[in-house]
Structure formats: structure tokens, C-alpha cells
Amino acid sequence: MSRALDGRTALVTGASRGIGRAVAERLAAEGALVAVGYARDEAAAREVVDAIAGAGGRAFPVRAELGVPGDVETLFDALDEALGPDAPLHILVNNAGISVHAPIEDVTPEIYDRGFAVNTRAPFFVTRRALPRIPDGGRIVTVTSGVTRISFPEAIAYAMTKGALETFTLALAKHLGPRGITVNNVAPGIVDTDANAGWLRGDPGAWEASARRSALGRVGVPRDVAGVVAFLASDDAGWVTGVTVDATGGGDL
């Protein structure tokens, strides 16, 4: 049986763990050849690649720390080495990001700049560099956050980085519409990942409180988000562009 993404190549940034790993595994299960982007943890990225191969899929790692000088060049040099400089990139998933968990009083210029460098500047210029390689009818999906809809003063700078991405997507969807390239966001809520483990599992009441914020009564898991990304990457989503799909489980309804 053919799969939804057979014959397509996808790049997923921040794919060595959490939501990014789940997205990489889901896209590979749908038939895509997946470039597993990672910053430092080569062993984790190899684990993802091996898991995909073990399930019958295809993947390879590409290393580039985003948010530092030369990051885009490093990423695409690795991609070119693996695929060749003329190989098409049908799907781009901008997932890599860092947490900026602090109220405004605790956000220093250094924290602020680092958050925007990784969460906003990097996906902007990764996308810009990828555009010549994305064929007509391609897909761009960016992982933002439910904090662009739900007031979250404890992470005000983080929310700003993700809000900027949603504006970016809105404008880019219009710009790329004539080429049939769709551009969308997926906004997760509270998800049980390594990045959230410290506060989510460290405080006995945090898990229960987080589950209560969802209309579905539970904390999200990475595959919840991966399924939405896979839909937006598929042909079935060809008439969906310029939108943010809320994947918070009905957070704070």
C-alpha cells in the first residue's frame, strides 16, 4: 500500500527528542525520508534514526545548533552532503525551540535575545534558505505554542517569540500561495516532554493542574502534536494555509 508521504523528503528541526522526535517518526511512518535535525546530542539523534529504520522507515541525522552565527549554513551543508545540493525538500517542519520561562522582571536582554535567536530568527532564515528547494505544492509547518492564545505571563518573552512566528506564517502563506505551497502553524499546549519534565513532574500538583487546563482532562503527549503536523504535511491539507491549528486539547476553554 502507498503511504501519504511516499517519495517526499522532510526536514524536521529539533527532532532528537520530544515533539520533534514524534513528528520525525510519524512522517517517516507515512513514507517520507526524514532529515532528523539536532543541535548537540548525536546519540539521541542516532536513536531516532535507528527507531525509524527499525520500523521500516528512512531517516538520517543533520547537525546544526540553531540560534548561533552560521547556523543556517551548517544545517544546509549537512543536508547537501546527505542528499545533494539539488535534491528537493518537500516538507519543512520548524520545530526547534527553547523555553524562556520567566516573568518580565526576570527577563534579561541576554535571555530575551537568546530566545528570539533560536525560536524566531532561526526558523525565519531556515525557511528562507529552504525556499528554492521546496517544490510547488510543498509544505511548511511551524510549531508555535498555545501561549499565543492563552495568557501566560510566566513566559512572556517565550510567548512573544511564538507570536512572531504566527505572524510570519500568515504573511508567508500569502506570498507562497501562487506556488501551491501551504504554510501553517501547530500550537501545542502542555506536553509531557523532556523539556517540561522539570516543572511538570517535579511538582506533585503540577501534573494534575496541567491536566485540568485541558478540556480533555489530560496532559498532552508528543504523538498528539505529531498527528496534526502529519495532516498538514499531507495532500489532504492542500486547501489549508495561513492558519494556526490549536493542539492544546482544548486548553483553558
Active-site hit among 158, 186, 225, 230: 158
CA R_g for the chain = 17
Query: Rounded to an integer, what is the distance from CA 176 to the centroid of its chain?
Result: 20
Contact 229, 186 (CB under 8 A): yes
Q: Which backbone phi and psi does 249 adopt, to 5 degrees?
A: 65, 30
Q: Is 158 a catalytic residue?
A: yes
Determine which helix (DSSP H) or strand (DSSP E) holds 141, and give its type and residue range. strand 139-143
CA dist., res. 43 & res. 125, Å (int): 27
Tell me the pairing of strands 33-38 and 139-143. Answer: unpaired
At residue 172's C-alpha, the angle toward residues 171 and 173, to 5°, is: 95
Contact 63, 45 (CB under 8 A): yes
Active site members: 158
